[in-house]
Structure 1
Amino acid sequence: MKTALRSSLLLGLSTAIALAAGQAQAREVVASSIGTEYEQIRLVKLVDGLSHPWAVGFLPDGRFLVTERPNGLYLIEEGKKTRVEGTPEFFATNQGGMLDVVVHPDYESNGWIYLTYSKGDSDGTVPALARGRLEGNRLVDVEALFESNEYTSPGRHYGSRILFLDDGTLMMTIGDRGAEPPRAQDTLDHSGTVVRLNDDGSVPDDNPFVGDDDYAPEIWSYGHRNIQGIVQHPETGLIWATEHGPRGGDELNLIEPGKNYGWPTATLGRDYRTEDKFPHAEARHREGMVDPVFEFLPTLAPSGLALVHGDRFANWEGNLLAGGLRPQKILRLVIEDETVVHAEELLRERIGRIRDVRQGPDGYIYIVNDMSDAALYRIEPAR
Structure 2
Amino acid sequence: MLNKSIVAAGLLLAGTASVHAAEYQVTPVAEGLAYPWSLAFLPDGGMLVTERAGRLRLINAAGELQAEPISGVPQAFVNSQAGLMGLALAPDFAKSGELFLSYACGTAEANHTCLASARFNGSALENTQEIFRVEPAKKGSAHYGGRIAFLADDTLLLTLGDGFDYREQAQNTANHLGSIVRLNRDGSAPQDNPFVGEQGAQPALYSIGHRNVQGLVVDADTGRVFSHEHGPRGGDEINLIEAGKNYGWPKITYGIDYDGAQISPYTELPGLEQPLLHWTPSIAPSGMTLYRGELFPQWQGNLLVSALAGKEVRRVMLKGNQVAEQESLFKELGVRFRDVRTGPDGALYLLTDSANGSVLRVTPTN
Same fold (TM over 0.5): yes
The answer to whether 1:176 aligns with 2:151 is no
Map residues 52-67 of structure 1 onto 2, 5 A cutoff: 52-67=35-50
Q: Distance in 2 between matches of 1:187 and 1:66?
A: 33
For residue 291 of structure 1, the aligned residue among 267, 274, 281 is 274
Q: Which runs of 4+ in 1 moved over 3 A?
A: 32-36
Could you tell me which runs of 5 or more consecutive residues in structure 1 were left unpaired when the two chains were aligned: 1-26
Counterpart Cα distance in 1 of 2:122 and 2:347: 26
Distance 2:65 2:223 in 1: 36
1:258 aligned partner: 244
Task: State the Cα distance separating 1:57 from its structure 2 match.
Answer: 1.1
TM-score w.r.t. structure 1 length? Answer: 0.89
- Partners of 1:215 and 1:119 lie apart in 2 by 23
Q: Does 1:124 align with 2:110?
A: yes
Instruction: Write the distance in 2 (CA, Å) between the matches of 1:155 and 1:137.
Output: 31
Counterpart of 2:330 (choices 347, 355, 373) is 347
In structure 2, which of residues 305, 312, 319 is the aligned counterpart of residue 329 of structure 1? 312
Alignment of 1:160-309 (within 5 A): 160-274=146-260, 276-278=261-263, 281-309=264-292
TM-score normalised over the length of structure 2: 0.93
Partner of 2:357: 374
2:29 aligns with 46
Whole-angstrom distance in 2 between the partners of 1:216 and 1:87: 28
Name the stretch that deviates more: 235-244 or 216-225: 235-244
Q: SS at the partner of 2:298? A: helix
Distance (Å, rounded) in 2 between the aligned partners of 1:337 and 1:277: 33
Q: What is the letter of the counterpart of residue 141 of structure 2?
A: G
The answer for the alignment partner of 1:24 in structure 2 is: none
- Per-residue CA deviation, residues 220-246 of structure 1 (Å, 9 max, x unaligned), is 000000010010112121111111000
CA distance in 2, matches of 1:154, 1:130: 21
Q: Following the alignment from structure 2 to structure 1, what is the Cα–Cα distance between the partners of residues 126 and 289?
A: 29
In structure 2, C-alpha distance between the alignment counterparts of 1:109 and 1:257, rounded to whole Å: 30
Given that 2:293 and 2:342 are in contact with CA atoms closer than 8 Å, whether structure 1 keeps it comes out as: no
What is the deviation of 1:133? 1.2
Cα distance in 2 for residues equivalent to 1:310 and 1:377: 17
Q: In the alignment, which residue of structure 2 is the partner of 1:79? A: 64
Deviations 1:293-313, CA, capped at 9 Å, x for gaps = 111133110000010113221
1:158 aligns with 2:144: yes
Superposed displacement of residue 41, structure 1:
1.4
- Which residue of the partner structure matches residue 312 of structure 1? 295
Identify the match of residue 134 of structure 2 among 148, 164, 169.
148
Give distance in 2, aligned partners of 1:373 and 1:253: 32
Q: 1:351 to 1:140 in 2, by over 3 A?
A: farther
- % identical equivalent positions: 38
CA deviations on 1:252-278 (whole Å, 9 max, x unpaired) are 10001101111011111112112x421
Q: Give the deviation of 1:35 after TM superposition.
A: 5.5
1:58–1:102 CA contact under 8 A, matched in 2 = no
The count of corresponding residues between Structure 1 and Structure 2 is 354
CA distance in 1 between partners of 2:200 and 2:276 (Å): 28
User: How far apart are the structure 2 equivalents of 1:374 and 1:293?
Assistant: 31
SS of match in other structure, 1:80: coil
8 Å CA contact 1:327–1:349 kept in 2: the answer is no
Task: After TM superposition, give the deviation of residue 365 of structure 1 in Å.
Answer: 1.2
Within 2, Cα distance between the matches of 1:312 and 1:28? 23
- Residue aligned with 1:108, SS: helix
The residue type paired with residue 317 of structure 1 is Q
**Mean alpha-carbon deviation: is it higher for 241-250 or for 309-318?**
309-318
Task: Say if 1:28 and 1:145 are closer, same or farther in 2 by CA, change over 3 A.
Answer: same
Q: CA deviation at 1:33?
A: 5.1
Distance 1:266 1:354 in 2: 28
* Cα separation, 2, equivalents of 1:283 and 1:38: 37
8 Å CA contact retained: 2:9, 2:21: no
Which stretches in structure 2 are left out of the alignment for 5+ residues? 12-19
Equivalent residue letter for 2:230:
H
- The AA in structure 1 aligned to 2:279 is F
